[in-house]
Amino acid sequence: MKNFIYEEKISAILDDSQRGHSDHAESILKKALNLKGLSPEEAAILLNCEADALLDRLYTTARQIKEEIYGKRLVLFAPLYLSNRCINSCSYCGFSNRITSSGKRLLDMQEIRDETKALISQGHKRLLLVSAEDPEVSIDYLQDAIKTVYETKEGNGAIRRINVNVAPMRKSDFKKLKGTGIGTYQSFQETYHTDTYKQLHTSGPKSDYLKRLYACDNAQSAGIDDVGIGALFGLHDYKYEVLAILFHAIHLEEVFGVGPHTISVPRLEPAQGSEIASHPPSKVSDNELKKIIAVLRLSVPYTGIILSTRENAGLRKELCHLGVSQVSAGSRTMPGSYSSKDKSNAQFTVSDNRSLSEVVSDLAASGFIPSFCTSCYRTGRTGEDFMDLAKPGDIKNYCQPNAILTFEEYLLDYDPELAQRVKPHILSEVSRIPDHKIREATLGKMESLIQGKRDQFF
């Protein structure tokens, strides 16, 4: 394995982007509207924009691209933490093995069932299984956990798609994970800067930078079509991390023919027992986070951008307009905390403590269509097949009506009062579906939902 994050090249690009190239920014913004993406060199120029007028143009372009590709839909999910017992020593994490606590635990299958029921009762259809690097979270355990989640029902509800964020594993285990019917496998490098990485990861398997870097390669080699990458912003210079993410995306595209399905942009937040988490080495401001998301949206226009509840409600609302396509809602970041409401020993501080229903209501009021869609995973529209539909714009024929249908189903089962208020909004979105046959079929499926059928999708 070789390091394909070329630090000297990234540094040279960043240095060069500060030498009088800001006049190129306008032409780069115009180019971005072609939806072909940007090079790391072009992204670096935009990352160095500081003038208010130019930043406004950047944000306007990001919003235009986001709506061109994703429309008004915004996918919702929740993380389900399996274990906070970790064998790694990571200086920024509340799960680090340096921190001794009586609250360390691994969920058994009944506890996973209880957590799943609690999430289904809120209206969730998509979960992200998360675990610290616990030796007992083996592939056998994960297979049982995923089976348990999928088999759990509550009222009309069920979890239809599970994504997974766990430690890197052997290719043979990734193949078994693929067989469980998961969607995306996520692995975040945290920081792509090798010296910073070594300083922050002092012991445990995660201290191996290259093993972490190649986790998504191994997953895709094992047949998992969709992978998610990301950095924990605040550990190192944000401009460096953005370019490193783009080089990671380029690497995956070159090797597997398709880049990352998602990019996550978590920002370092306070965590129990971590001084670094409370005082980030390279603190990222709200305005810088806005720039990060906008530049990523222009650079990799068809890649989903995920925003967690680390950010407060007001900022999340603003960022959703700039390029974010998926958000967590009603999140808790320790095992067992949905069914017990215990918030102690969390991985990090949650800033947006709104319930799923509150998030859905606020998104609808802002003109979004909250989406619980899982159809692409279940119909084989993944990996390269998804991108073949996304790049010419054909994916809209599925995503827009499926977002509407899953939102309608959520309203019928979990918030009939909100349903009455947003009915004109939903019908307006239906009228925007360009294909007449799909538009009429969507109305037919909506009527089926009203009549009691569930899980209607294209």
pLDDT of residue 258: 95
451 pairs with which residues across the strands? Answer: none
**Given the DSSP bridges, would you call strands 153-154 and 73-83 parallel, antiparallel or unpaired?**
unpaired
- Tally of residues, the chain: 458
Q: In one letter, which amino acid is 317?
A: K
Tell me what pLDDT residue 389 has: 80
Q: Is the predicted pLDDT of residue 332 greater than 70, yes or no?
A: yes
Greatest CA span in the chain, whole angstroms?
63
pLDDT for residue 136: 97
Residue 58's pLDDT is 97
Residue 1 vs residue 32, higher pLDDT = 32
For the chain, what percent of residues have pLDDT higher than 70?
A: 97
Domains along the sequence of the chain with CATH: 1-453 (3.20.20.70)
Q: Is 436's pLDDT higher than 60?
A: yes
Q: How far is it, in rounded angstroms, from Cα 226 to Cα 240?
A: 25
- Judged by phi (left if over 0) then psi (alpha if -120 to 50, else beta), residue 37 lies in left
Of 88, 30, 119, which is closest to residue 298 (Cα–Cα)? 30
pLDDT average, residue stretch 255-283: 93
Q: Compute how many other C-beta atoms are within 10 angstroms of the C-beta atom of residue 140.
A: 11
- State the pLDDT at residue 31: 97
Residue 341: band (very low, low, confident or very high) from pLDDT cuts 50, 70, 90: low
What is the dihedral sign for C-alpha 101, 338, 355, 329?
positive
Q: Is the pLDDT of residue 1 over 70?
A: yes
- The H-assigned helical ranges of 301-395 are 313-320, 337-340, 356-365, 375-379, 383-390
CA atoms 293, 295, 298, 304: torsion sign: negative
Q: Write down the pLDDT at residue 13.
A: 96
At residue 345, the pLDDT reads: 56
Q: How many helices (H) and strands (E) does the chain have?
A: 21, 13
For 353-377, the pLDDT digits (tens) are: 999 999 999 999 999 999 999 998 8
Please state the pTM of the whole predicted model. 0.95
d(CA 429, CA 409): 15
Q: What is the pLDDT of residue 47?
A: 96
Asked whether the CA dihedral 263, 265, 266, 268 is positive or negative, the reply is: positive
Q: Is the pLDDT of residue 119 over 70?
A: yes
What is the band of 398 on the pLDDT scale with cuts at 50, 70, 90? Answer: confident
Instruction: Tell me phi and psi for residue 102, to 5 degrees.
Output: -75, -10
Quick check: 274 pLDDT over 90? Answer: no
**Distance between CA atoms of residues 182 and 151, nearest Å:** 14
Give 141-164 pLDDT, tens digit per residue.
999 999 999 999 999 999 999 999
Look at residue 20 in the predicted model and tell me its pLDDT. 63
- In three-state secondary structure terms, 97 is coil
Q: Which of 199, 164, 206, 189 is nearest to 242 (CA)?
A: 189
User: What is the distance between the alpha carbons of residues 329 and 331, in angstroms, rounded to a whole number?
Assistant: 5
Task: State yes or no: pLDDT of 278 exceeds 70.
Answer: yes
In 107-199, beta strands by DSSP E: 126-131, 153-154, 157-158, 161-165, 184-186
**396 or 429: which leads in pLDDT:** 429
Predicted local confidence at residue 77, as pLDDT: 98
CB contact at 8 A, 162 and 146:
yes
Rounded to an integer, what distance in angstroms lies between the CA atom of residue 376 and that of residue 398?
A: 8
Query: How confident is the model over 72-116, as pLDDT tens digits?
Result: 999 999 999 999 999 999 999 989 988 766 689 999 999 999 999
Structure tokens that stand for 161 in this block: 């798609």
- C-alpha distance from residue 127 to each of 75, 163, 255, 285, 434 (Å): 11, 6, 28, 29, 31
Does 196 score more than 90 pLDDT?
yes
| Secondary structure (3-state) at 369 | strand
346, 94 contact by CB (below 8 A):
yes
In 3D space, the residue among 211, 239, 222, 215 whose CA is nearest the CA of residue 296 turns out to be 239
